[in-house]
Amino acid sequence: KAGVTQTPRYLIKTRGQQVTLSCSPISGHRSVSWYQQTPGQGLQFLFEYFSETQRNKGNFPGRFSGRQFSNSRSEMNVSTLELGDSALYLCASSLAGTSNEKLFFGSGTQLSVL
């Protein structure tokens, strides 16, 4: 069974640009969540999608958005990039994202903003 797949693996952008990251969850998993990892802040929850609807949201500005498609694949978009957006962006999937489920993470997309 294939794991969580994230593309691209690495990205370099400049300030002010926008970026789209992609995530394919494990087959059968309907909940997809996104996390940002930075050296200073650690792993922080961005948002979660289930059945094409955003179900939970973390404390990030509106420049960070996402969506989920009918096949559960998800994309995350960051607009007007800032230097501080440089981070490892991780996608995780689970069956339904409800109680007592473990999340399976992808390898992440390393974003560098210059």
Residues that bind another protein (CB under 8 A): 4, 6, 31, 33, 35, 42-45, 48, 50, 55-56, 58, 88, 90, 92, 94, 97-108, 110
Number of H helices, E strands in the chain: 0, 11
C-beta of 1 vs 102, nearer to another protein: 102
Rounded distance, CA 28 to CA 64, Å? 26
CB closer to another protein out of 19 and 91:
91
Question: 61: cis peptide before it, omega within 30°?
Answer: no
Q: Where are the beta strands (DSSP E) in 39-86?
A: 42-50, 53-57, 64-68, 74-78
Q: How far is the CB of 15 from another protein (least distance, A)?
A: 23
The CB-of-38 to another protein minimum distance in angstroms stands at 11
Taking the least distance from each CB to another protein, the nearer of 13 and 45 is: 45
| Shortest separation between residue 36's beta carbon and another protein, angstroms | 11
**71: helix, strand or coil:** coil
